[in-house]
Structure 1
Amino acid sequence: MKVSFTSTQTPKTKPEDSQLSFGTQFTDHMFLMDYNREKGWHDSRIVPYGNFSLPPSTTVLHYGQAIFEGLKAYRCPDDTIQLFRARDNFNRFNRSAKRMCIPEIDTDTVLEHLKDLIRTDREWVPSSRGTSLYIRPAIIATDPYLGIRASHTYRFFIILSPVGAYYPEGFNPVKIWVTSDYVRAVPGGVGEAKTAGNYAASLYASEEAQREGYTQVLWLDGKEHRYVEEVGSMNIFFVINNTIVTPALNGSILSGITRDTVIQMAKKQGIAVSEKRISMNEICDAHEKGWLSEAFGSGTAAVISPVGTIRYEDRVLTIQKGTAGPVASMLFDEITAIQYGEKKDPFQWTEKI
């Protein structure tokens, strides 16, 4: 599929690396592609970053039929740029599409379009350690129709954002708050899809956690409100008796790309990993007995985020004396060294642009 190109006539001023936050600034161009039943996916184009014009009746605005992904590109020491696990992200994107009744994309074709877009805005890829180019592919339903059915038309787009650290704490431990009152997802629902409504459902509890001085919410299962599932923007891991323990994927937990990265890297480093159902009472018991040595989250945005404090009901668990532990630190160092091209990639996770 050929890609048409329209260059911006009003290029923006690129921010200094030291001024980057997360998700607030966007590059000069974006990629668009449309779908209808007659043509399939068509009209691939790179155009200046700008607004969409949508009727108030557009399906996505009323029924939330939308999916997205998050991945990154990194500038390496030799000034080349590489993607990290992009193919895995687009494969998961298609799994989300299938669950949300959205037509799938061709991974190979879209990956080439993404590379074209990054080449176009190459100068926007920051170079300082800790910075990267965040990539947001998304699909929204575009039928102008007020009826509950899958849309017949869609818009696929990719926007790019140069970013710094996701959390203000950086790699320093965050505080998480366990909610027993609200749930993010339930078995048989769309918890394992990266769809917009999942994140809207998480906002109320997140606001409550932040009012209490906590960075993120740790969600429990939607049926018994006992078993650990995931954090708002991360999968969660615990180090108990020298074993990394993480909740098993069960249909209501997002299958994180970084989660899989952590598991593969830990096993390569000779660390035991257990994917299983684990309750908060088990976590509290392990903490009380001195078996819980670390907790950390994983996700594209933060890569690895140590957890220093967990509040569950009337209990406050302080982990690793509120500091980053050796396992989280090692995983962060090893994964980011591959992402930035500082170490060889034995897993074939990276792809040069």
Structure 2
Amino acid sequence: MQMPSQPTAIYNQQPIFHSAFESTIINMTQPTSIDMTFDTSLVDVNAAANTSFSTTESDSTVDGQQTSKRTQNLQPTTAPQKPSTPVQHIPTQAAYDQWAAIYDTDGNMLQAIDDLELQTLLPDFLSQVKSSSATEQELRVLDLGCGTGRNTEKLVRYDWNGKSVEVTGLDFSQGMLDVAAKKLSPLLKENDQQGVRSRLECCDCFPTVDNPSVSPLPAVSNLRPIHAVTSTLVLEHIPLKDYFATLAALLLPGGTALVTNMHADMGRVSQAGFVNADGVKVRGSSYVYTVEETAAAAKAAGLNVVSVNEREMRKEDVEGSAVGERGWKWVGTKVWFGMVFRKTS
């Protein structure tokens, strides 16, 4: 599979939360057609079709002249080698609308790692939120870029000890929110009796991407300042300045945010996306951000870094089936990071 010589993001200048904007990323690599293929897959497309092969350079003599000939020693494990998967870049909102139906079930490796890390990171974060807001009559918690409600559901299900809690999920993709609504609807009556209310809103979550002169707050009715924000695997698609402007504007002074993202070590050669029914890898836009760049942007927006966690792919992740077979090529590579921020004032 062909790789970019200097892989970095951005691949298509269409931000996740609305239309085009102008931005320059150093060493930008951008495919120019659907036929350009390179390794951007996070998804186990078809484990049964995986094959292994080696490519070697061998010297041979033709008419007394030494030449170099490339040979391929194909060794299929279960099926003949398939052609490289074509890649199509479309606006990110359209990509997520298309992705919604299979987002929770298509074997996304980074999502699997995110789920593993959040098993401990999210409860610890929410415990701190609950403790630090013990005197508050009501807690307001927001899932920014909630998608299919994968983590919004965890916020609603969390044991808030009878405290009055409002959980809001915001996303720009109506397709993703439709899936989230089905997921959350059985919990509404049950949790409302326990003091937990939830709502989902479709909106432009990062309005300054399109118009730097507007307020960074999403245009959502009755959106009051937030005690805690979770935002998982969203940052990859948003310019840092716009992302943290919105995050800081949402939070109350002393409020905290848990943010997870693809690690730069993975992002330099990969990006979020899925394989559609036609066998085409569909991608929106993606940026590569290091932990250091992320921390600096947060600080500039008035947020302090509370904690940082980085995660590499481990062989036991694949051996234990936490991720699919394509995870083998990422073993030893940092693929994920999570950071907690607090608004200073």
Q: Which category describes the TM-score, using the shorter chain as reference length?
A: under 0.3
**Structure with greater helix share of residues:** 2
* Largest Rg, 1 or 2: 2
Q: Structure 2 length as normaliser, TM-score? A: 0.24
